[in-house]
Structure 1
Amino acid sequence: MLQSKTRWNFPNNDHEISKWMDDSNGMSPIILDLLLQRGITTKKQATTFLSPDLANLHNPFDLESMDKATERVHKAIKNEERILVYGDYDADGVSSSTVMMETLIELGATCDFYIPNRFTEGYGPNESAFKAAAEDGVSLIITVDTGITSVHEAMIARELGIDLIITDHHEPQEELPDAYAIIHPKISPKSLFQELAGVGVAFKFAESLLGYFPEHLLDLVAIGTIADLVPLVNENRVLAYYGLRTLSTTKRPGIKALKQVCKIDGIVTEEDVGFLLGPRINAVGRLQDADLAVQLLMTDDAQEAQQIAEMIQEINKERQKIVTTIVSEAEAMVNTDEHDVIIVAKEGWNEGVLGIVASKLVRKYDRPAIVLAVKSETSEVKGSARSISAFDLFTNCMKVRELFTKFGGHSQAAGMTLPRENVPMLQSELNSLINQQLSEEDFTQVVDVCRTVSITEINEKLINEVNQLAPFGMANPKPIFHVKHIPSDMRQIGNMQKHLKVQFRDETITVDGIGFGMGNLYSKVSPKTPISVIGELSINEWNGNKKPQIVMQDMKIEERQLFDYRGKKQLNLTSFINDSKEGLVISNSTIDDLPLSVNQISYKSDISNLVKLDSLYILDLPPNLSILKEIIRSTSPSNIYAGYYIEDSAYMKAFPSREDFKWFYALVRKRNTLDLNKEIKLIMDTKSWTKERVLFISKVFFELGFVKIEKGVIEYNPTPVKKDLQESILYQERIVKADIEKILYYSTYIELKAWITNCLEDLKAPKEEVTNGL
Structure 2
Amino acid sequence: MNYKWNYQPPTQEEREAAKALAKEIGISPVLCRLLLERGITSAAEAKRFFRPQLNELHDPFLMKDMSRAVERLNKAMGRKERIMVYGDYDVDGTTAVALVYKFLQQFYSNIDYYIPDRYNEGYGVSKKGVDYAYETGVKLVIVLDCGIKAVEEIAYAKEKGIDFIICDHHVPDEVLPPAVAILNPKRHDASYPYSHLSGCGVGFKFMQAFALNNGIEFQQLTPLLDLVAVSIASDIVPVMGENRVLAYHGLKQLNTNPSIGLKAIIDVCGLSDRELTMSDIIFKIGPRINASGRIQNGKEAVDLLIEKDFPLALQKARQINQYNETRKDLDKNMTEEANKIVDQLANLSQRRSIVIYNEAWHKGVIGIVASRLTEIYYRPAVVLTRTNELATGSARSVSGFDVYKAIEYCRDLLENFGGHTYAAGLSMKVENVPEFARRFEEYVTRHILPEQTSATIDIDAQLDFRDITSKFFFDLKKFNPFGPENPKPVFCTMNVFDYGTSKVVGRDQEHIKLELVDNKSNNVMNGIAFGQSSQARFIKTKQSFNICYTIEENTHKRGDVQLQIEDIKPSRQA
For Structure 1 versus Structure 2, the TM-score category normalised by the shorter chain is: over 0.9
Q: Which residue matches 1:548?
A: 561
CA positional deviation for 1:10: 3.3
* Secondary structure, aligned partner of 2:508: helix
CA positional deviation for 1:298: 0.8
Q: Which residue matches 2:366?
A: 354
Cα contact 1:80–1:109 (8 A) shared by 2: no
Q: Which residue matches 2:210?
A: 209
Decide whether aligned partners of structure 1 residues 251 and 47 sit closer, same or farther in structure 2, where only a CA change above 3 A counts: closer
Report the residue type matching 1:300 in the other structure.
K
- Give matches, 1:205-604, under 5 Å: 205-211=206-212, 212-213=217-218, 214-250=221-257, 252-265=259-272, 266-334=274-342, 335=345, 336-337=348-349, 339-375=351-387, 377-378=388-389, 380-488=390-498, 489=500, 490-506=502-518, 507-523=521-537, 527-542=541-556, 544=557, 546-559=559-572
* Secondary structure, aligned partner of 1:16: helix
Cα contact 1:539–1:546 (8 A) shared by 2: yes
CA positional deviation for 1:245: 1.1
Q: Deviations over 1:314-373 (max 9, x none)?
A: 111111111001001000111323532111221221111111111111111111111111
Residues 1:45 and 2:45 are matched in the alignment: yes
The unaligned stretches of length 5 or more in structure 1 are 561-637, 639-774
* Number of residue pairs matched by the alignment: 556
* Secondary structure, aligned partner of 2:478: helix
Q: Deviations over 1:113-141 (max 9, x none)?
A: 11101111111001221122112211111
Q: Deviations over 1:433-492 (max 9, x none)?
A: 222223544311333211000122123322221111001111111111111123224442
Greater CA deviation, 288-297 or 3-12?
3-12
Decide whether aligned partners of structure 1 residues 258 and 438 sit closer, same or farther in structure 2, where only a CA change above 3 A counts: closer
Decide whether aligned partners of structure 1 residues 439 and 30 sit closer, same or farther in structure 2, where only a CA change above 3 A counts: closer
Decide whether aligned partners of structure 1 residues 434 and 77 sit closer, same or farther in structure 2, where only a CA change above 3 A counts: same
Distance 2:259 2:104 in 1: 18
CA positional deviation for 1:61: 0.4
TM-score normalised according to structure 2 size: 0.92
TM-score normalised according to structure 1 size: 0.69
Decide whether aligned partners of structure 1 residues 396 and 449 sit closer, same or farther in structure 2, where only a CA change above 3 A counts: same
- Give matches, 1:730-745, under 5 Å: none
Q: Deviations over 1:557-604 (max 9, x none)?
A: 3526xxxxxxxxxxxxxxxxxxxxxxxxxxxxxxxxxxxxxxxxxxxx
Report the residue type matching 1:197 in the other structure.
S
Cα contact 2:5–2:459 (8 A) shared by 1: no
More relative contact order, 1 or 2 (CA 8 Å, 6+ apart): 2
Distance 1:275 1:24 in 2: 37
Distance 1:70 1:109 in 2: 18
* Secondary structure, aligned partner of 1:486: strand
Cα contact 1:11–1:37 (8 A) shared by 2: no
Decide whether aligned partners of structure 1 residues 357 and 251 sit closer, same or farther in structure 2, where only a CA change above 3 A counts: closer
Q: Deviations over 1:289-335 (max 9, x none)?
A: 11111111111112211110111111111111110010010001113
* Secondary structure, aligned partner of 2:143: strand
CA positional deviation for 1:109: 4.4
Distance 1:71 1:42 in 2: 41
Distance 2:9 2:368 in 1: 31
Distance 1:358 1:518 in 2: 24
* Secondary structure, aligned partner of 1:97: helix
CA positional deviation for 1:546: 4.8
Distance 2:357 2:480 in 1: 39
Q: Which has the larger radius of gyration?
A: 1
Greater CA deviation, 179-188 or 521-530?
521-530
Cα contact 1:460–1:539 (8 A) shared by 2: no
Cα contact 2:527–2:562 (8 A) shared by 1: yes
Percent of residue pairs bearing the same amino acid type: 36
CA positional deviation for 1:204: 0.8
Distance 1:318 1:292 in 2: 16
Q: Deviations over 1:35-93 (max 9, x none)?
A: 01211111111111011111111001011111111011111011111111110111111
Distance 1:439 1:471 in 2: 29
Q: Which residue matches 2:140?
A: 140
Cα contact 1:406–1:417 (8 A) shared by 2: yes
CA positional deviation for 1:276: 1.3
Residues 1:181 and 2:181 are matched in the alignment: yes
Cα contact 1:186–1:194 (8 A) shared by 2: yes
Decide whether aligned partners of structure 1 residues 280 and 272 sit closer, same or farther in structure 2, where only a CA change above 3 A counts: same
Q: Which residue matches 1:92?
A: 92
CA positional deviation for 1:11: 5.9
Cα contact 2:92–2:198 (8 A) shared by 1: yes
Decide whether aligned partners of structure 1 residues 53 and 17 sit closer, same or farther in structure 2, where only a CA change above 3 A counts: farther
Q: Deviations over 1:153-209 (max 9, x none)?
A: 121122222111100111122222121110111226331111111111101111111
Distance 1:9 1:359 in 2: 26
Cα contact 1:83–1:109 (8 A) shared by 2: no
* Secondary structure, aligned partner of 1:246: helix
Cα contact 1:60–1:208 (8 A) shared by 2: yes
Cα contact 2:27–2:475 (8 A) shared by 1: no
Cα contact 1:152–1:177 (8 A) shared by 2: yes
Q: Which residue matches 1:118?
A: 118
Distance 1:25 1:126 in 2: 54
Q: Which residue matches 1:694?
A: none
Distance 1:423 1:155 in 2: 30
Cα contact 2:3–2:456 (8 A) shared by 1: no
Decide whether aligned partners of structure 1 residues 27 and 340 sit closer, same or farther in structure 2, where only a CA change above 3 A counts: same
Report the residue type matching 1:323 in the other structure.
D
Decide whether aligned partners of structure 1 residues 15 and 116 sit closer, same or farther in structure 2, where only a CA change above 3 A counts: farther
Decide whether aligned partners of structure 1 residues 499 and 299 sit closer, same or farther in structure 2, where only a CA change above 3 A counts: same
Q: Deviations over 1:599-653 (max 9, x none)?
A: xxxxxxxxxxxxxxxxxxxxxxxxxxxxxxxxxxxxxxx9xxxxxxxxxxxxxxx
Distance 2:153 2:9 in 1: 47
CA positional deviation for 1:17: 4.6
Cα contact 1:372–1:382 (8 A) shared by 2: yes
Q: Which residue matches 2:193?
A: 192
The unaligned stretches of length 5 or more in structure 2 are none
* Secondary structure, aligned partner of 2:421: coil
Runs of 4+ in 1 over 4 A off after TM superposition: 20-23, 523-526
Distance 2:338 2:12 in 1: 45
Q: Which residue matches 1:158?
A: 158
Cα contact 1:87–1:97 (8 A) shared by 2: yes
Cα contact 1:485–1:504 (8 A) shared by 2: no
